[in-house]
Amino acid sequence: MNTSHCNNCETEFEGNYCFNCGQKVLANSKLAFSNIVKDFFDNTFNIHKGFFFTFWNLIIQPSKVVKSYIQGKRKTYTNPTRYLVIALAALATMQYWAQMNEVINNDNFEGFPFLSEELNNSARLWDLRLLTDWTLLGNLLEALVLPLGFYWLFRKLKYNYSELLILSFYLISNSIFITILLVGLPKFVISYYTPTFFVFGMILVYYAYALFNFFKEISLLRRLIFIIFGLIIFFLIRFLLIPLILAVLFPI
């Protein structure tokens, strides 16, 4: 096997990759436009290392993907943080092309009737702002909040918050892709507004399916009850408590 000199870290190595820094031996060749394109997709979207494979497996067997990643099988699947960034970039693109914010703003959701009219309206506007104008912050908050209830309810399984955060990042990301497929594409292609309750229902079914399989060590009935309570805690914090706190601190 021929010995190569790494132009990045000055190490002598054999094979296709430098053992010290991981740079490909192809980097020693004259730079071509195809190299720039491949590097862009590889470093930005990680397409070559399992993005579509990750997406498909998160649809059909999400618990396997999450548990494999937690247990150390991390080269097969796209990094969950990067996967969320890809999902948010895709969402931003679809929001622009298909005017998804218009779909959300046309929703019939009326806020929280048990609050005063002023506070109710401000909380509703904050909720809409997190869904549309501040999409990155809104989805990041969802990813951080989702594990809280499940961390407490399934504490006997000894998953720490970071491990459940991996589950959360993957589920939130795929819920974004589901939203794009169900809302953005119909609006962009045939100018059809998919009913919000249908999209919400599909995402809820996906969450339940993923969580039900992820926590399968718990008995059936107890698992079902805990998942219901965990989702209730998530929706109360994200769609009631957070908008309410923002409405009190920064009324609109």
Q: How confident is the model over 116-147, as pLDDT tens digits?
A: 778 887 888 888 788 777 888 888 999 999 99
Q: How confident is the model at residue 22, as a pLDDT?
A: 76
Cα–Cα distance, 26 to 41 (Å, whole number):
16
Give residues with Cβ within 8 angstroms of 210, minimum separation 6: 58, 62, 63, 66, 167, 171
109-to-81, 98, 104, 235 alpha-carbon distances in Å: 31, 21, 9, 15
Largest CA distance in the chain: 76
Q: How confident is the model at residue 65, as a pLDDT?
A: 93
| Residue 12, strand partner residues | 5
Q: How confident is the model at residue 199, as a pLDDT?
A: 87
Which of 100, 123, 102 lies closest to 111, judged by CA? 123
Q: Is 86 exposed, middle or buried (0-12, 13-18, 19+ CB in 10 A)?
A: buried
Positions of the chain with pLDDT under 50? none
Tokens (6 digits) for 11: 């190490």
Q: How confident is the model at residue 41, as a pLDDT?
A: 64
Q: How confident is the model at residue 184, as a pLDDT?
A: 75
Q: How confident is the model at residue 11, as a pLDDT?
A: 85
**Which helix (H) or strand (E) is 50 found in, with range?**
none
Cα–Cα distance, 112 to 117 (Å, whole number):
9
